[in-house]
């Protein structure tokens, strides 16, 4: 029952995990700002377990809500909403990562001048089960998801109401 809010940083406004594998439960990461890579959260070579976590209303020049690099986190009952990136990955940006998302909602995120309003995947193969990706917006490609050299697995998931192409490959 922790809230991480109203912080500003060069990288990762709310939380930055580097070579770390914590269990994070019942945490809200909101209203944080970063110049680069994750207004809400940045993972670098980390494999945390996030349960009942909300990442919302965060802003970054690149990669708004959550930036995941060479990491394989497990997200269960997580909400990633109302985040903004000037560049790619309004809600979540994955690079060389293979996370597992179960009962996750990615909604109302924006990539103002880039791709991947909900998710941007670069050389990543996430597993998404019971995931909702809805009402995300983007300037160029992939309102829901932008895929670059990536092979996500989606099952029992909803992709709805995203602006421009839902999934761009």
Give the helix/strand (H/E) hosting 86.
none
The label of the residue with tokens 């922790």 reads: 2
Q: Given this model, what pLDDT does residue 118 score?
A: 98
Is the sign of the CA dihedral 51, 30, 100, 110 positive or negative? positive
Closest listed residue to residue 53, CA positions, set 35, 28, 83, 71: 28
For residue 126 the two structure tokens come to 């996430």
- Helix or strand or coil: residue 52? strand
pTM for this one? 0.97
Is the pLDDT score of 165 beyond 90?
no
Cα–Cα distance measured from residue 41 to residue 92, given in angstroms and rounded to the nearest whole number = 9
∠ CA 74-77-79, rounded to 5°: 100
Per-residue pLDDT tens for 104-159?
A: 999 999 999 999 999 999 999 999 999 999 999 999 999 999 999 999 999 999 99
Q: Given this model, what pLDDT does residue 46 score?
A: 98
């Amino acid at each position: 029952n922790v809230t991480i809010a109203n912080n500003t940083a060069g990288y990762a406004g709310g939380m930055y995990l580097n070579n770390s594998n914590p269990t994070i439960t019942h945490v809200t990461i909101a209203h944080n700002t970063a110049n680069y890579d994750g207004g809400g959260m940045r993972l670098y070579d980390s494999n945390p377990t996030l349960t009942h976590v909300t990442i919302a209303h965060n802003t970054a020049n690149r990669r708004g809500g959550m930036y995941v690099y060479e990491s394989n986190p497990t997200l269960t009952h997580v909400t990633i909403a109302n985040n903004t990136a000037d560049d790619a990955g309004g809600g979540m940006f994955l690079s060389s990562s293979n996370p597992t998302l179960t009962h996750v909602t990615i909604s109302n995120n924006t990539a103002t001048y880039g791709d991947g309003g909900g998710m941007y995947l670069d050389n990543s193969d996430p597993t998404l089960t019971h995931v909702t990706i809805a009402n995300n917006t983007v300037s160029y490609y992939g309102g829901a998801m932008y895929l670059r050299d990536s092979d996500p697995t989606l099952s029992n998931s909803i992709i709805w109401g995203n602006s421009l192409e839902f999934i761009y490959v």
